[in-house]
Copies of this chain bind each other. A is one copy, B any other.
Amino acid sequence: MEFTVAQVAEVLHGTVEGDAELRINRLAKIEEAQAGAITFLANPKYEPQLYTTHATAVIVSRTLELRQPVAATLIRVDDPYSCFTALLEFYQQNARTGRRGVEEPAFMGPGSTIGDNPYRGAFSYIGENCVIGRDVLIFPNATIGDRCRIGDGTVIYAGAKIYADTVIGARCVVHAGAVIGSDGFGFAPQPDGSYRPIPQIGNVVLEDNVSIGANATIDCATLGSTIIREGSKIDNLVQIAHNVEIGRHTVVASQTGISGSTKIGDFCVLAGQAGLAGHLTLANRTTVTAQSGVGKSIKEEGVLLQGSPAFALRDSLRANAIFRHLPELERRVTALERNQSEQEKP
């Protein structure tokens, strides 16, 4: 994507000072910007950088008074920060997800339908009897199994794998390599010590506005559905086991694992590399800090947990503070013992 400064200024309702025909092809921070980049100045603290930046164009306030000559072309607007944010969103939508049409070869099985304005990348696969909404983007090498339903405006990035019978809402994002609907890890031990797979015939349901990170894995339910409710955000490499339910607007950071049948409430935050045992219930607004291991249900809302095994954050911080100095504590006990036995001597 490349635009002239004049084109950008027109979209932002700004006025140009300098060469309006210069070409812009990327956005950058003012301190990192090179030729071809557009940046912005909102915080007066950064004004000195305005006079040294290598950016081709800078979005500045209409009211800014220059104290030195500026090499870059300026676009003057009322609110530089919100204008730059608007450019960011425009850029992301156009550079990353602006592609439309069908690249051949792409596969769609019998009985499947897709709404208006799709992108189906080369080597993307849609099985049989799927119902896919409008403005859905399916990137190259993604695989969507039979009988899936996908809502309007959802983006499935390259190489994501969606098993049969998955239901995905509107405006969801599934990042590259994510796997949705793989078999739950359920095996029945046999008398000889071997394991027999328990059939896993449920599915996964993602409600609207859910985001799934790269190479995350979400298993289908044994029976029924593994569910991620509206607006929840799942980071890269997260594992969500069979029959888990995650509430609305909950955030799960990278490499966290949630074991089978656990229910997480709304507005929770699970930090990175945390682990949750199976069959737990976490109340709304529970926070689990990084690397914690949660083995018990939490009934009270708003609890903060830390440690492995996890308990209240405040208590955990205190216990850890003493843990670091355990050798000293042990020496103090030894000194007490020595003194006491001295005193006991006749």
> Which residues of A does B touch, CB under 8 Å?
27-29, 32, 85, 88-89, 91-92, 95-96, 103, 105, 107, 121-123, 125, 139-143, 145-146, 157-159, 161, 163-165, 173, 175-177, 179, 182-183, 185, 187, 193-195, 197, 199-201, 209, 211, 213-215, 217, 219, 223-224, 231, 233, 235-237, 239, 241, 248-249, 251, 253-255, 257, 259, 266-267, 272-273, 275, 277, 290-291, 293, 308-309, 311, 315, 318-320, 322-327, 329-330, 332-333, 336-337, 339-340, 343-344
Contacts and interface: CB of A to CB of B under 8 A. Distances in A.
Interface of A is mostly: loop
A249 B235 CA distance: 27
Contacts of A235: 185, 239
A277 B291 CA distance: 11
A196 B142 CA distance: 25
Contacts of A344: 339, 343
A72 B315 CA distance: 54
Contacts of A239: 235-237, 254-255, 272
B233 A195 contact: yes
